[in-house]
Amino acid sequence: MALEGRLETAVSSGTPGSDAVTLEFVVTNAGSEPVELQFSDACKAEFVVEDEGREVWRYTDGRMFAQMISSERIAPGEEATYEAEWENPQSGEYTAVAELRAQEAICEARTDLSVP
């Protein structure tokens, strides 16, 4: 299984106190065979924001996800995109990490993130 991940972030500024960071995790099938991803609940990717190795935000904290088995097929060269939003972030320099939550498939991406 040849999955490659890319994590992109965008900081949006609204009114004071309503800033948000959008995280977009793109998983690409870099192999020559289709990949069948199996998920045990409705959350298909985990997103974490760290400050020098200390976790400051986790997408799944305080959230409930439907307990349902599902699958997703990614053909060779195709990609699947998963998104999350971190609301009201503190200013600072962070590392954002995304991880696919599929069974028997590993794919992770990280990127530096600056919140003004």
pTM, to two decimals? 0.93
pLDDT in tens, 17-43: 678 999 999 999 999 999 999 999 999
pLDDT at 58 over 90: yes
Q: Which amino acid is at 83?
A: E
What is the chain's length? 116
CA distance 28 to 30: 6
Provide the residue type at 38 as one letter: Q
In Å, how far from its chain's centre is CA 47?
A: 4
